[in-house]
Amino acid sequence: MSERIEALTEQLGEIGADAIYIVDEINVRYLTGFSGDSSSLLVTPSGAVMLSDGRYKEQLDEECPGLPYEIKSPSQRADEFVAGVLSGSGAAKIAIESNCMTVASFNAIKSKLDGIEWVDTSDIVLRQRMIKDTEEIEVLRSSIRINERALQSVLAKLGPDWTEMEVAYELESTIRRLGATGFSFNPIIGAGPGGAKPHYSPDHTVIGDHPTLLVDWGTNLGGYASDLTRCFHFGNPPAKFESAYQAVLDSQLAAIEAIRPGASARDVDQAARLVLKKAGLDEYFVHGLGHGVGLQIHESPRLSGVSEDILQPGMVITVEPGVYFEGEFGIRIEDDVLVTDEGNEVLSGFPKGLADCHLIL
């Protein structure tokens, strides 16, 4: 973890700051490995110090050995405690995460510190998190494997009388039995018309009452999130299902082929849209192509028509084109893809051919 803090300190000169105060709990975890909450981090050229309270002293010793920390006493106000630590650092220019800190908390700290110049920054750690190191990539691989194994297990026992919510419950239970924390987001289990809503919540709809099923699910393992989507049909699907499914699959494969270091995220998004446009389905693709995954299910970079991101080795991104027919069904195919030095590696291997999506209940 010290390498991540060191990489952050090297950027202080670029933003014109003597120190940076990290309040986003995900960023604190990324930099230190601390999995608790209610804690922040002050980073200076000479190192870092954690700001926490007595509830987490033992946890800090276990998870962050060697990392200095300051513990707030029960009688101290939070703003006074933070102001004291910041003042004691001797920093004259302190950067803050302006997208995470509330105006109220900032003003409370600021009022107790005279002569400090505040530097506004919002994405310095987020940019660092975009590039995954070897350890992060291996955790993501394991998260994806559990995700895939869990769905395979559930599909093997699926029955026509199962509801969408029962599928979700069984999927989460299996994920936990396989050693993960649970879902990385609330899953989308959409039978028939439910699958036509890109951010649908499963309910008591019986899956056997509809010919199609969309499953968008993810696993949280060691704090890291995987994110996959597959679609299935039972018996005879709607007449346009097969042609639309193949178009979405071709769209995804075209986008994956375009992923390489130096590629524009906008161009990758466009590669997918061109395939769907040729199939006459572009109007049914109503969201961006994908996003980064890591400690959060949605991270930078973004794959969309307005993204300014450039792909770099170490980025892990989703590629998830989809088409949605209101009141009928939806089709989305999603994989997690690593940008490599040579091009890309699809980290997920769950079958996705047209023949693979036929289920017998």
Pull the structure tokens for residue 238: 């709607």
pLDDT of residue 171: 98
Nearest by Cα to 322 from 297, 292, 352, 343 = 352
All structural domains of the chain with their residue ranges: 2-128, 134-359
What's the angle, vertex CA 231, arms to CA 163 and CA 275, rounded to 5? Answer: 150
Alpha-carbon span 334 to 184, nearest angstrom: 15
The ranges of the chain with pLDDT < 50 are none
Rg (CA), the chain: 23
First to last CA, the chain: 48
Q: Tally Cβ neighbours within 10 Å of residue 65.
A: 9
pLDDT tens-place string over residues 154-195: 999 999 999 999 999 999 999 999 999 999 999 999 999 999
Beta strands in 282-340 (DSSP E): 290-292, 299-303, 316-319, 322-325, 329-332, 335-339
Give me the residue label for tokens 């999927």: 171
pLDDT of residue 236: 83
Alpha-carbon span 48 to 145, nearest angstrom: 35
pLDDT of residue 32: 97
Multiple choice CATH, 134-359, 3.40.50.1220, 3.90.230.10, 3.40.50.740, 1.10.10.10? 3.90.230.10
**Which CATH superfamily includes the segment(s) 2-128?**
Creatinase/prolidase N-terminal domain (3.40.350.10)
Alpha-carbon span 13 to 361, nearest angstrom: 61
Do the domains spanning 2-128 and 134-359 agree at the CATH topology level? no
Q: In what order do the strands lie in the sheet with 219-221?
A: 182-183, 219-221, 224-225
pLDDT of residue 286: 97
pLDDT of residue 360: 87
Nearest by Cα to 86 from 41, 27, 29, 120 = 41
Q: Tally Cβ neighbours within 10 Å of residue 170.
A: 16
Alpha-carbon span 207 to 211, nearest angstrom: 8
